[in-house]
Each structure stands twice: as structure tokens, then as C-alpha cells.
Structure 1
Amino acid sequence: MEKFPKIAFPFIIIGVVLVILLSKSAVTIGPGEGGVMFERLGDGIDVERTYGEGFHIIMPWNSMIVRRVRQQSISDEMNVLSVNGLEVKVNGTIWYEPEFANLGKLIKTKGQDYERELLDPAINAAARSVVGRYTPEQLYSSKRDVIEQEILDEVTKLLEGQFLTVKRVLVEDVKLPATIKDAIERKLKQEQESLEYEFRLVTADKEAQKQIIEAEGKAESNRILSASLTDKILQDKGIDATIKLAESPNSKVIVIGSGDSGLPIILGDQ
């Protein structure tokens, strides 16, 4: 068997070194991600440039820190106090997004775990501040949308200039002690029943007013009609009616004398 030439060993070693260097120099940044260069022989994090999606070649002694830069969310449950000191649990979800152009500054100032270092404290502080303005009843029922917007406003103020943007806050659930929750539900039910009762009373009152107006209108109409009916008009109408009955082929009319008003007396009709 022919021995492997000794001259080939240096080339093999060089090849292995090149493969190792290439593997350390090639970086792929995936969809929705951004990269920040960490220069070991320089000033550390490069805050001037954020690398986008795709394939990149870097110096082998440097490294690339890759983080998601698209919109993302975290959910949390917070124990907070209402305005009257009652402890409630608020389940919420926060949508946030790192500033792509300032990803290096964000990591350099807050570290790679910037959600825990920056976002969590801001959200908890904002939730405690906002929830502390409301009663348990308001938290449970009608104030959900207002609370979400106020928490978002508070978080935005706290994170101003921190290279992290909160897009939306969603309060998914407010958990109250069972006794307080039951009391609120009973009160809301009673208020609903009271509103329905008041509606029925208003409807009945309007119907009564309508009937009174109609009755007054009929009475006034009858009064005007009675005042306009003289004896002469009544006699003329009676004569017209008698003529129509006499002309009917299905009637047999016998007229005898006259009544007190001068009108004929009708005795038969078949």
C-alpha cells in the first residue's frame, strides 16, 4: 500500500482550518429577525448597524446576535389593587416590537433579555397605576376598553426613548374574589330588572296618555256634532233614510201617521 505523501498534510490542515473559519463566518438571519454584530476585538456591540434577513459573512472572531424584530406578544397575570384596596388579578397580553434600526442600542443598554429587564417592569407599573383608579365593579363590567387604552398610554410614556414600542394592550380577564363577583352580578341583575320595570311604566304611561287624548278628541267631536244638529237637519236626514228604505226591493214598509218629530213611523220590515 502506497503511503500518503507527507506534503499533503499541510494542505489538509489548511483545508480544515478554512472550513472551521467559514462555518464561524457564515450567518443566516431568518424571516422577521434582525442581527447585531458583537465585535470581540473592537467595542463590543455595533450600535450603528442592524443586519436584515439573509446570508451574511462576518469575521470569524466576531459573532452575530440574532433577535426577532417583528411584532410579538407576551401574556402575564398581575396582582394589583383596586381603588378601595381590594386585590384583583388581571390577565393581559401585550403586543410589542423592537425598533429595527436601534436593535444594537437596545441590546447594548438593556441586554439580550430586554423583555424581562425593560418590558415586564413597565407593564406591571402601568397596570398598578391604572387599575388603582377604578372600583372592582368598574373593572368587572364597563371600563375594560378604557383601562386597556390607559395602560397602553402609561407604558408608552415609561418606554419613551427605550427603543421598544408597545403596539397594543389587551385585558383578557379580571379575576375578583368570589364573594365580590357574586355581589356585583346580583347588583347588575337588579339594575337591569329596574330598568326594564321603568321601561314598562313609561310605556304604560304613554299608552294611557294616548287613550286620554283619543277620548278627549272623540268627546270634542261629539260636542261639535251635537251643537250643529238642529231639528230641521234631523228631520231631513230621517226623510232621506225613509225614502231609501221604501225604495229597497227587499223591504215592505207600512207608514202610518207621523211621530212626534213629524217623521213617518215604520212598522214593518221583512
Structure 2
Amino acid sequence: MDKLPKIGLPIIFAVVFIIFLLFKTAVTIDAGKAGVMFKRFGGGVDTSTTYGEGFHIVAPWNDMIEYKIRQQSISDKMSVLSVNGLEVDVDGTVWFQPKADMLGKLHQEKGRDYISTILMPAISAAARSVVGRYTPEQLYSSKRDVIQNEILEEVRREVKDQYIQVNRVLVQDVTLPSKIKDAIERKLKEEQEFLEYEFKLQKARKEAERQRIDAEGKAAANKILSASLTDKILQEKGIEATLELSQSQNSKVVLIGSGKSGMPIILGNQ
């Protein structure tokens, strides 16, 4: 009876130790994540292997560091200067993800806080560089898509060798000081009204030109017709018409040679 507790105590310790080892060595990497192995007695970070989703056995003296590798986004509102020195607030979002096959290098050289130490400064520098090329009017109106693409290219250049993949940049809003915004809106309204006036004026000019050409065409046609109608032709046409009328069944009186031009005059009733 006295020996049983002495034998049972080591067994209990052994079971607890085995359970501890199981919890320590068994690692499950969740969906959308990947792992980097830190080998305490094997040279530090294993940069050659990225561990994917699922169950992994890790030696108790090693550590598995997990990273999100699915696409992520960060949003920020930055105050930057336009080409003429005016302060502009740019509200944007960037979609990114770490390069899974380079995760060991990312952990070794940049660390787990790479978003704040590498990516955010790159975005800020790119936004300042791109926005600084444009006037407030361009930023406010038609340059939004161009600015987005240029910021994307700038960020990609900034993080080219940083093991980060930048997928897209979205500029959601560009906020100007209220006085500048009102002045731009007034200018745009005046330009729109001017374009409408120019359109109406151009339309009126085209209509006047059309009427002039139409009138000139009619005048030219009348001139040609008048030139072709000689006295002889008129007499021949008159004779033809007289013959047709004389053959009708209606009562009439024909006076030969009574007209000023020698044309017959027909008198009669129905």
C-alpha cells in the first residue's frame, strides 16, 4: 500500500509531460495562413520552407510563427501637398499580401510588423509623390483613375524587394479646402455654361449656313430655268396647251392671234 503512491507519482508526471510535449509539438495552421519555422538549435529562421495550412509536428525547442497570406487591406487618410503647395486630404485603401514563398525572408529581414515599418511608409511616400504632380482642379475632377494607377505603380516600386505583393490601390476621396472646392465648382459650372452657349451658337450658325445654301440653290435653279425659257419655247408650249384645250368637250371660243405674243386666247365656260 505504501509503494503504490510512490510508483503512481512518476507515472502521473510522465503522462503530464507527454501531454505537454504533444501540445508543444503539434501545430495547426489555419486557413489563409502560412508558417515560418524558427529553429533554436538549427540556424534560426528556416528561409527555405514555408509551411502551409494544416497539422505540423514541431520539435519542442523550435517555434512556428504564423502569418496571414490571404489578401488584406489597409485604409488611411493622408494630408499631402498638390503641385502648387495646397494641402489635400487623400482617403485611400490598399490591397496587399505577403509573398508566401518568401515568407521566411520576410520574417527574418522585416519582422511581423512589416505593415507598419515597410508598407505604410511606402504608401505614404507614393501618395505624396503622385499627388504632388497635379493641381487641385485635376485632383478634384478627371484624374482619379490616373492617380490610383500611378500610386499603385509607385508603391510597387517602393516594395519591390521587400517580399510584399501589392494588388490594388483605391482612392476613395480627395478633400480640398472648402474655399478652393467652391472656387473649382464655380469654375466648372461657368465652363459648362460656356460650352452650352458655344453649342447653341454653333448650331445657329450651321442653321443659318444651311438656309443660305438652300436659298442660293433655289436662286441658281430659277436663274437656269429663266434662261432656258425663250419666247419661242413659250410659244410652242402655249400652242401645245391650246391644242389640248381645243380638243376638250367643254364649250369655248378660240381667238386666234389675240394675245400680246400672238398666242390664241380661249374663252369659254364649263
Shift of 1:57: 1.1
Change (3 A) 1:259 1:21: same
Aligned to 1:60: 60
More displaced 10-residue stretch of structure 1: 190-199 or 36-45: 36-45
Distance 1:54 1:3 in 2: 47
What letter matches 1:35 in structure 2? G
Change (3 A) 1:10 1:198: same
Shift of 1:117: 0.7
1:50-102, Cα deviation, whole Å (9 max, x unpaired): 11111111112222111111222111100111111111100011111211111
SS of structure 1 residue aligned to 2:265: coil
Change (3 A) 1:101 1:261: same
Change (3 A) 1:216 1:108: same
Aligned to 2:137: 137
Aligned to 2:159: 159
Aligned to 1:112: 112
Distance 2:248 2:162 in 1: 103
Aligned to 1:103: 103
Q: Structure 1: any 5+ residue segments left out of the alignment? A: none
More displaced 10-residue stretch of structure 1: 237-246 or 81-90: 237-246
Aligned to 1:213: 213
Aligned to 2:38: 38
Aligned to 1:22: 22
Shift of 1:252: 5.5
Checking the alignment, whether the CA contact within 8 Å between 1:246 and 1:252 is kept in structure 2 is no
Shift of 1:248: 6.0
Does residue 191 (structure 1) correspond to residue 191 (structure 2)? The answer is yes
Change (3 A) 1:115 1:252: farther
Change (3 A) 1:227 1:17: same
More displaced 10-residue stretch of structure 1: 120-129 or 237-246: 237-246
Shift of 1:231: 1.2
What letter matches 2:226 in structure 1? S
For the aligned residues, what is the CA RMSD?
A: 2.3
TM-score of the two chains, using structure 1 as the length reference: 0.90
Q: Structure 2: any 5+ residue segments left out of the alignment? A: none
Checking the alignment, whether the CA contact within 8 Å between 1:27 and 1:55 is kept in structure 2 is yes
Change (3 A) 1:224 1:65: same
Identity of aligned residues (%): 62
TM-score of the two chains, using structure 2 as the length reference: 0.90
Aligned to 1:124: 124
Shift of 1:151: 1.3
Change (3 A) 1:110 1:231: same
Distance 1:236 1:120 in 2: 99
Distance 2:192 2:46 in 1: 62
Change (3 A) 1:208 1:9: same
SS of structure 2 residue aligned to 1:134: coil
Distance 2:22 2:47 in 1: 25
Distance 1:61 1:248 in 2: 130
Checking the alignment, whether the CA contact within 8 Å between 1:235 and 1:263 is kept in structure 2 is yes
Checking the alignment, whether the CA contact within 8 Å between 1:86 and 1:136 is kept in structure 2 is yes
Aligned to 2:241: 241
Change (3 A) 1:253 1:110: farther
Aligned to 1:92: 92
